Amino acid sequence: MKLNRFIVISAVIIIALGVLSLALGCAKPAENITAPVSDIPKQQMVQINPLMPQNRVVQSDNGTASVRGMAGKLVFMSGTNDAEGPQLYTSNVDGTNFVRLTKNKTGGERFPKWSPDGNQVIFSSDMDGNQKIYVINADGSQQVSLTDEKSNNWLPCWSTDGKKIAFVSDRDNKDQIYVMNADGSQQTNISNNAYSDSDPSWSPDGSKITFISDRDGNTQIYSMNTDGSNQLRISNNKYADLFPVWSPDGKKIAFQSSVDSDFFQIYVMEADGTGRTQLTNMTADNKYPAWSPDGTRIVFYSKRDCPNDNGEIYIMNADGSNQVRITRTGCTDTGIASWK
């Protein structure tokens, strides 16, 4: 009987081992769960942008790493397609920390400029009908109008010491350069001629203002003393030169021009008009240059990546190299930046 019990137990063990062996033999080996390199998505970042759904994922620009963490702050307009019109925003230089500055329900805000101390922003807006000049604190508080609504006033810029503001006004039935105190008092026409003058920019030493004029038949860049005297032509081209801005050391002037192209490109020249050098060369508009505080870089507006004729903000070295896209707002016309 013991022998029979042993035989039965042995048979059961043999059958169990056979079933287990069969199961192991039929099992598939574990698959390699590592995706091919080509299937791994590119690095992404989530950017909280008031113009986009809050959780929209935006592909990061590979070149942005070259300016990540760069010192300073940008202020700019964005959102032409927004129902409230373009508003002002601030961000870090690399495009992060995108924050809305103005919250006006009508019109649109344009051409912002940081004050020399970085505590205020001056800009123009048609929120009350005509273009007027406003100033607002850097945190978005205390928005104040500096000009009245009886004429159009726009393109403001600060003097180096922050005590005066140059701007454009059509109150004399043509565009002229005016200067006023920072509180809006004592508004004076300083270009004061029969032609159209616009786009003022104050020199770093506070002694001159560059501007554009069509007085010689084609819109070119001129300079004058801050009281309007000694008006001299600087550029000399058959195409329009616009939006001149002084470098922080006062040695160079950046501007936009359509020379040899159907599109505006960014140029730089010496303060006396010599040494004209083209910095961008794209089959799209590149406009509204502004210098970094240390003069090593230029922030500008470009339509190169936007199919809808709007643009985004880019930064490049002062010699035109390393052109990097900074904002990615879905081509809602983001640009005309100022850097502090």
- DSSP secondary structure, 170-204, as one string: -TTSS-EEEEEETTS-S-EESS-SSS-EEEEEE-T
> Maximum CA pair distance of the chain?
129
Structure tokens at 154: 């726009």
Angle at 314 between CA 312 and CA 317, to 5 degrees: 170
pLDDT at 51 over 50: no
Share of the chain above pLDDT 90, in %: 64
CB atoms within 10 A of CB 19: 10
CB 247 within 8 A of CB 295: yes
Chain segment 311-326, per-residue pLDDT in tens: 999 999 999 999 999 9
Nearest alpha carbon to residue 321 among 264, 261, 279 = 279
Chain segment 68-125, per-residue pLDDT in tens: 778 899 999 998 556 677 899 999 999 899 899 998 888 889 999 999 999 999 999 9
Q: pLDDT category, 13, cuts 50, 70, 90?
A: very low
For the chain, helix (H) and strand (E) counts, in that order, are 1, 26
> Tokens 């299937």 correspond to what residue?
39
CB 322 within 8 A of CB 63: yes
pLDDT value for 259: 76
Structure tokens at 116: 């020399």
Nearest alpha carbon to residue 74 among 293, 248, 280, 268 = 293
Chain segment 121-179, per-residue pLDDT in tens: 999 999 888 999 999 999 999 999 999 878 999 999 999 999 999 999 999 899 999 99
Chain segment 215-248, per-residue pLDDT in tens: 998 899 999 999 999 999 999 988 899 999 999 9
pLDDT value for 66: 66
Spatial neighbors of 327 by CB under 8 A, at least 6 apart, are 76, 78, 91, 95, 98, 312, 313, 334
The mean pLDDT value for 243-254 works out to 98
CATH superfamily to which 51-339 belongs: TolB, C-terminal domain (2.120.10.30)
pLDDT value for 201: 98
Q: Sketch the domain layout of the chain as residue ranges.
A: 51-339
**CA 32 from centre of chain:** 45
* Mean pLDDT over the full length of the chain: 83
Nearest alpha carbon to residue 333 among 307, 315, 311, 304 = 311
Helix (H, G, I), strand (E, B) or coil at 134: strand
